[in-house]
Structure 1
Amino acid sequence: MPKIVSLFSGCGGLDLGFHQCGYKTVWANDFNKWAAETFTRNFGNVMHCGDIELIDPYIDDSIPHCDLILGGFPCQDFSIIWKRPGLNGERGNLYKSFLRFIDAKKPKAFVAENVKGLLSANKYKAIETIIKDFENITPGYLVKVQLYNFAEYGVPQFRERVLIVGIRKNTGFNFIHPSPTHGNKELLLPFVTAGEALEGVEQIKSNNEHMNIQPKTIEMLKLIPEGGNFTDIPKEHPLYVKGMISHVYRRINRNEPSKTIIAAGGGGTWGYHYPEPRPLTNRERARLQSFPDNFEFIGNNAEVRRQIGNAVPPRGVHALAKALLPLFENSYQYENLDKISDKLKRMSIRERLLLDTINNKNI
């Protein structure tokens, strides 16, 4: 069973996806108290809550050997929703702690997750720097980056995230990002819809409390059709609002995956049910993130919402976790990763980011 060291773990969505495919987390870290408590409740006593920048993985004997390092280093400085200072931001350089752990533990592989905005932050300089830093860790890592839409991997939510996979070159394992399994194309499974995901959710007790809602908000929601948002309110109506992001007063469409579940924000950003004129409950958000009903979140409504919205949807990384298993089971054909890495390094960063899964098979 491959052993995971988990960094910036949050409530554990990324870990859970790998656990469901036969992996085990043996050590984890997060700074947020409530997320750490949720992680402990669901994974056991492997969480070390605290500032990762104060942990030295080179000398801390409590951090065990691992086969794989996972982590979603903080993404706010790269998000397209917020202003994007990128590597110049207060939190942008926290990925260097991820680098320290990889350098200290030398795992066979690592998986780093971040928002789509990372790809273009600082005019592509951020992702270029991050890739080079990962590649240069001794004894050298082959790094492949891909933008995933998790709806294409069985999650009932359109959610785009960057996954950076690094393979230690001396393993000779040429990892290929897995092709989508769901979508509208021939031979793919159909998307999992929000309606399918929320079926029977009212019977679940944990994290399923309904929020208080103002009568004015109820009347606004009645003006918004299934799948719509605030822009559907007629301009001449007294409840009309303008100048907001598309998440505001967004109602689910039961016949397709939901739009992205976000972690925080007021002013109508909670995500809204249809046909009921109300905010989604946290359990409903968790269903749309593909968390099982026995996964219990700790904290108040806002804290739990943050944990769910920041998480990687577990089902979305199943294909990736399975694609990595041959590395840990020694069931693959050895390839010269130095040659493959050299080909990638000769490409511009934009050329590398344009590579799709099919092209990667030839590299």
Structure 2
Amino acid sequence: MKFLKGELFNGPGGLSLGAKNAGFVHPETGEEWKIEHLWSNDYDSNACKTFGLNICGDENDESVHVGPVENLPIGDKSILGDIDCFAFGFPCNDYSNVGEKKGLEGTFGPLYSYGVKVLKLYQPKFFVAENVGGLQSANEGNAFIKILTELEEAGYNLTPHLYKFEEYGIPQARHRIIIVGIRNDLYEKGIKFKVPAPTTLASTDYKTSRDAILEPPIPEDAPNHEMPKHTKKVQEMLSYIPAGENAWYLGIPEELRLNVKGARLSSIYKRLDPNRPAYTVTGSGGGGTHMYHWSENRALTNRERARLQTFPDDFVFLGSKEAVRKQIGMAVPPEGAKIVFNAILKTFAGIEVRVK
């Protein structure tokens, strides 16, 4: 049983890798259940090359359409073939709790509507949509209600849930809203998705940043593993910051402290706590926001950040170091996505899923 997938805002391929790695052989029928990529789109050319290389086997694969979603010929099945399922991690910039939270009034906020357009024109059996937790509160909660209403009106029964990925074996405190939609006619026939139960209930059993980065050790020749360079002052300042603390730690000598007025972001020069999941990996690239090793006086490499996002070491990100850092931070953790897609496939296959 094969589901062909279309995707908007594909990024480097976190959702798609999760979908690709999901699947199973039905224990009773022997039938293989899986999801295969058919087409996708993103405006970021570096992300599209990364996606093409790792998901399709060719960085210039023609099924990955580069450019603004506004220019994509949605509905033209001679270009974008017919699909059985659909995924879209619509841009979160205007919904994030870090930033101006313009929501639907922002540049990126309304782009979810192209996902709704795909659903109306293709009517896939199911879809998966992903965004930041801040979506719930954007525009005083009205944005979330509007988006859910339009997805329902496209013909789907919805199961929105705020997934706390550290509860699912991901070595990172990453909280994201994932909306699973089952087409109404299939829902009425008994295909009713339920949120899969967390795999790790006790916080003492969460996978830690140390587990992710050190076990097993990252090969020296792993891609995207170039060591960052810092000024002597930054290295000296980091030497005074304990694990889990940041640039505002009181033990930093006055001459090494940052001269910042106003709001002080907690993530600035923040070291990981090796005994806990990492704080959220982001795509931002400003000074001091690159995530910092708990004991070495440096930022993480992109490969270490990719490990926190559960990308395998042979997943190659293309582009400059800054472009790669952005791709990694904006991605959905593949291992988290895999859990959701597996739960959907099992629902369709009539296999019981342990639910929340």
Higher alpha-carbon deviation: 20-29 or 55-64: 55-64
Q: Where does 1:1-363 land on structure 2 (aligned, <5 Å)?
A: 1-22=2-23, 23-44=35-56, 45=61, 46-137=63-154, 140-172=155-187, 173-184=191-202, 190-199=205-214, 200-234=217-251, 237-241=254-258, 242=260, 243-329=263-349, 331=350, 358=356
Letter in 1 for 2:300: L
TM-score (norm 2): 0.89
TM-superposed deviation, 1:254:
1.4
Distance in 2 (alpha carbons) for counterparts of 1:60 and 1:294: 33
User: Any gaps of 5 or more consecutive residues in structure 1?
Assistant: 334-356, 359-363
Letter in 1 for 2:109: G
* Structure-2 change in CA distance of 1:235 and 1:6 (3 Å): same
Overall identity of the aligned pairs, in % = 38
Distance in 2 (alpha carbons) for counterparts of 1:272 and 1:305: 14
TM-superposed deviation, 1:163:
0.5
Distance in 2 (alpha carbons) for counterparts of 1:207 and 1:235: 31
Distance in 2 (alpha carbons) for counterparts of 1:203 and 1:67: 41
Contact 2:73 2:79 in 1 (8 A): no
> Residue 211 of structure 1: SS of its match in structure 2?
coil
TM-superposed deviation, 1:4:
1.1
Letter in 2 for 1:13: G
Distance in 2 (alpha carbons) for counterparts of 1:297 and 1:235: 36
Letter in 2 for 1:150: F
TM-superposed deviation, 1:318:
2.3
In structure 2, the residue matched to 1:354 is: none
Letter in 2 for 1:15: S
Contact 2:209 2:274 in 1 (8 A): yes
User: Any gaps of 5 or more consecutive residues in structure 2?
Assistant: 24-34
Distance in 1 (alpha carbons) for counterparts of 2:77 and 2:90: 21
Distance in 2 (alpha carbons) for counterparts of 1:238 and 1:211: 23
Question: What is the total number of aligned residue pairs between the two structures?
Answer: 329
Contact 1:110 1:166 in 2 (8 A): yes
Residue-by-residue CA offset, 1:58-94 (whole Å, 9 max, x unaligned)? 2342212222101111110111001011011111100
Contact 2:285 2:322 in 1 (8 A): no
Structure 1 segments (4+ residues) deviating >4 Å: none
Letter in 2 for 1:267: G
Higher alpha-carbon deviation: 307-316 or 194-203: 194-203
> Residue 157 of structure 1: SS of its match in structure 2?
coil
Letter in 1 for 2:160: V
Higher alpha-carbon deviation: 35-44 or 231-240: 231-240
Residue-by-residue CA offset, 1:336-361 (whole Å, 9 max, x unaligned)? xxxxxxxxxxxxxxxxxxxxx75xxx
Residue-by-residue CA offset, 1:225-264 (whole Å, 9 max, x unaligned)? 0111112143762222354211111111111111111101
Letter in 1 for 2:209: A
Contact 2:94 2:109 in 1 (8 A): yes
TM-score (norm 1): 0.87
Residue-by-residue CA offset, 1:86-108 (whole Å, 9 max, x unaligned)? 01111110001111111111011
Distance in 1 (alpha carbons) for counterparts of 2:290 and 2:76: 43
> Residue 231 of structure 1: SS of its match in structure 2?
coil
Distance in 1 (alpha carbons) for counterparts of 2:319 and 2:148: 36
In structure 2, the residue matched to 1:342 is: none
Distance in 2 (alpha carbons) for counterparts of 1:55 and 1:49: 9
Distance in 2 (alpha carbons) for counterparts of 1:332 and 1:150: 23
Distance in 1 (alpha carbons) for counterparts of 2:310 and 2:253: 39
Contact 2:42 2:68 in 1 (8 A): yes
